[in-house]
């Protein structure tokens, strides 16, 4: 009844509960405060009473166990000292992130084995639940192995997995589970950043921009059922620009379909897009240092190899490439001529770092060189980056970057565009008076200066913030004078709660509102539902366009 995409997503929700569990301490209190406490090789045992059944110590009246990576409570814990074994029945654990129960469990050596597993990340109810026949937790490595796991959503069985192995990094690292499932955190509709679906549903594309956007993008489906680390089959199916013509926008309907496979360090992908201007194809295959790709939009077809070598602090990356591409890769067109040929080159970098207390200084010179198979002159580009930073009572950073081409390149692959800019950043620590963030930069080649100053003030409900943005172009002419203001609510701490996150921007240069946005968040027992809309009224740079965007997000609490 449910497809592999739906099943994988639901399994991700369940496993995220485990990830949060590894980060949060249990709410039941430490065993060290119990009236009776015993330190054993298996961990610390505590309880309100201690009896003996032969040579077996029986802890009762709120017995608990604390060991490496695990904290449990049970009505009774039996300690078999001669066997070095602990037995628990009807055990449970509850943290700020999940609720866990098991029919029985045994701790022996560095392994905790449990039967009759019941696990939910929901704060109340069982809308999202996993039931497993057995589970084995390695107390030393933190690995968790679930056997015969069943996932239930709203009391309907949506997934069965025979075996699933998760390591400590996956369970505890922020974003660890997200990386396994190909998931990432997206932007917020109220923050002024790129608006897209966020949270655990980020592979889904649900929104509005010049028309309705619906579909999934690079959604991973396991090649081996229940274990995405053995390789994934990625699926893309997106329809965009739907109904845009009804709101006065140019028709921009487009359908994109793509597939990809990642396994054992090898990857391959194919994507086709159909729109008003015809069909477009794009594909890429990578196998270690080897790569093959084509892109009809850029008239690109390439095959080559790139290697990575380390010697001391020197990083050297030699490459060879046979290619055809558009003569102007920045603005490709099927009407442009193409360039073809073979390239043999290398890129070298040598980072140097100096630390002294709260100060850090980094210098990284680099060079790229290439030779070609025809009469073209050899290519050479040189540059360097230097950055200094202080992290103490406040944070201060200064950076300078410069690079340029000594000789022109034939292809875009090895080309390094000229750059010369300096930047500064100052951040004050949070305090009762608020927090300041100042950033400024100057591009010598474009003769353009940018600066922004953000002030955030924390309240009981969340953070109120103001941010001024300015940009000055050539001839000391103002390009941007914008003030943004908004509110970021605290994460909901109760069930069935609503919160609002508004944003408003004003353009002092053009005397009008530049942007407006609102995100509505609703928290139930398990999830936070997010619906947001942002409209750009006065574009502030070449990357912005007037129009509105709608976003939808869903994440675990």
Work out the average pLDDT over 201-205. 62
Work out the average pLDDT over 528-532. 86
What local confidence, expressed as pLDDT, does residue 111 receive?
85
In eight-state DSSP terms, residue 95 is B
What local confidence, expressed as pLDDT, does residue 542 receive?
83
The least confident of 130-134, 190-194, 301-305, 469-473 is 190-194
Question: Model confidence at 330, in pLDDT bands (50, 70, 90)?
Answer: confident
Task: Please determine, looking at this structure, whether the domain spanning 31-179 carries the CATH number 2.60.450.10.
Answer: yes
Residue 486, exposed/middle/buried by CB under 10 A (0-12, 13-18, 19+)?
buried
Calculate ∠ Cα 295-300-302, nearest 5°. Answer: 110
What local confidence, expressed as pLDDT, does residue 192 receive?
39
Work out the average pLDDT over 43-51. 89
What local confidence, expressed as pLDDT, does residue 17 receive?
37
Question: Model confidence at 185, in pLDDT bands (50, 70, 90)?
Answer: very low
The residue among 123 and 228 whose pLDDT is bigger is 123
Structure confidence by residue, pLDDT tens digits, 2-27? 444 333 333 343 333 333 333 333 33
Residues in the chain: 557
Structure confidence by residue, pLDDT tens digits, 343-394? 999 999 999 999 999 999 999 999 999 999 887 899 999 999 999 999 998 9
**Residue 177, SS3?**
helix
The least confident of 192-206, 213-227, 369-383, 490-504 is 192-206
The residue among 385 and 278 whose pLDDT is bigger is 385
pLDDT surpasses 50 at 553: yes
The residue among 43 and 481 whose pLDDT is bigger is 481
pLDDT surpasses 60 at 44: yes
What local confidence, expressed as pLDDT, does residue 10 receive?
36
Question: Which stretches does DSSP call E strand in 264-392?
Answer: 266-275, 278-287, 290-295, 300-306, 309-311, 314-326, 338-349, 352-356, 359-372, 379-391
Work out the average pLDDT over 269-286. 90
Summary mean pLDDT of the chain: 82
CA atoms within 13 A on the CB side of 87: 8
pLDDT surpasses 80 at 313: yes
Most confident range, picked from 61-75, 232-246, 280-294: 280-294
pLDDT surpasses 80 at 75: yes
What local confidence, expressed as pLDDT, does residue 250 receive?
61
The least confident of 77-86, 421-430, 480-489, 544-553 is 544-553
First to last CA, the chain: 27
Q: Identify whether the C-beta of residue 151 lies closer than 8 Å to the C-beta of residue 130.
A: yes
pLDDT surpasses 90 at 508: yes
Question: Model confidence at 251, in pLDDT bands (50, 70, 90)?
Answer: low
Residue 136: closest CA among 229, 69, 75, 236: 69
Work out the average pLDDT over 324-336. 89
What local confidence, expressed as pLDDT, does residue 202 receive?
53
CA dihedral 326, 332, 335, 338 (to 10 degrees): 0
Work out the average pLDDT over 186-202. 39
**Residue 109, SS3?**
coil
Work out the average pLDDT over 102-118. 88
Alpha helices in 190-291 (DSSP H): none
Question: Which stretches does DSSP call E strand in 172-249?
Answer: 204-208, 212-224, 227-242
All CATH 2.60.450.10 domain ranges in the chain, comma separated: 31-179
């Amino acid at each position: 009844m449910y497809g592999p995409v739906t099943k994988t997503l639901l399994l991700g929700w369940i496993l995220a509960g485990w990830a949060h569990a590894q980060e949060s301490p249990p709410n039941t209190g430490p065993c060290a405060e119990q009236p009776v406490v015993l330190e054993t090789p298996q961990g610390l045992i505590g309880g309100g009473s201690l009896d003996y059944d032969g040579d077996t110590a029986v802890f009762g009246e709120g017995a608990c166990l604390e060991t490496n990576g695990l904290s449990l409570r049970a009505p009774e814990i039996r300690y078999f000292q001669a066997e070095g074994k602990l037995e628990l029945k009807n055990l449970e654990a509850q943290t700020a992130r999940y609720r866990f129960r098991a029919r029985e469990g045994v701790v022996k050596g560095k392994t905790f084995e449990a039967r009759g597993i019941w696990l939910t990340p929901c704060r109340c109810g069982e809308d999202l639940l996993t039931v497993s026949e057995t589970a084995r937790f390695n107390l030393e490595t933190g690995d968790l192995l679930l056997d015969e796991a069943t996932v239930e959503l709203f009391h309907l069985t949506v997934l069965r997995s025979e075996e699933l192995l998760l390591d400590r990094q996956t369970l505890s690292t922020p974003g660890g589970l997200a990386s396994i499932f190909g998931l990432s955190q997206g932007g917020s509709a109220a923050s002024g950043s790129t608006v897209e679906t966020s949270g655990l549903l980020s592979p889904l594309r649900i929104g509005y921009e010049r028309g309705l956007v619906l579909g999934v993008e690079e959604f991973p489906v396991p090649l081996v059922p229940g274990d995405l680390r053995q390789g994934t089959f990625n699926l893309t199916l997106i329809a965009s620009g739907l109904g845009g013509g009804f709101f006065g926008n140019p028709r921009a309907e487009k359908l994109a379909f793509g597939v990809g496979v990642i396994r054992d360090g090898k990857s391959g992908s194919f994507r086709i897009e159909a729109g008003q201007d015809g069909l477009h194809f794009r594909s890429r295959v990578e196998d270690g240092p080897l790569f093959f790709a084509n892109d009809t939009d850029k008239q690109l077809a390439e095959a080559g190899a790139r290697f990575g070598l380390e010697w001391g602090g020197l990083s050297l990356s030699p490459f060879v490439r046979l290619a055809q591409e558009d003569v102007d890769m920045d603005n490709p067109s099927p009407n442009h001529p193409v360039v073809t040929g073979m390239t043999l080159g290398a890129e070298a970098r040598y980072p140097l770092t100096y630390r002294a207390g709260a100060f850090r200084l980094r210098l990284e010179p680099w060079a790229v060189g290439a030779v070609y198979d025809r009469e073209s002159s050899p290519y050479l580009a040189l540059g360097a980056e230097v950055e200094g930073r202080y992290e103490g009572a406040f944070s201060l950073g200064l950076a300078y970057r410069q690079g340029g081409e000594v000789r022109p390149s034939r292809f875009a692959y090895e080309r390094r565009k000229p750059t010369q800019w300096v930047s500064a950043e100052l951040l004050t620590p949070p305090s009762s008076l608020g927090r300041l963030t100042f950033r400024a930069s100057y591009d010598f080649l474009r003769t353009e200066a940018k600066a922004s100053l953000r002030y955030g003030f924390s309240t009981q409900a969340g953070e109120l913030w103001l941010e001024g943005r300015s940009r000055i172009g050539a001839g000391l002419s103002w390009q941007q004078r914008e003030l943004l203001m908004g509110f970021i609510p605290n994460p909901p701490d109760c069930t069935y709660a609503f919160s609002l996150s508004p944003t408003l921007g004003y353009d002092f240069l053009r005397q009008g509102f530049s942007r407006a946005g609102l995100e509505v968040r609703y928290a139930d027992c398990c999830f936070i539902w997010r619906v947001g809309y942002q409209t750009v009224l006065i574009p502030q740079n070449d990357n912005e366009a007037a129009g509105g965007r709608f976003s939808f997000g869903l994440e675990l609490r």
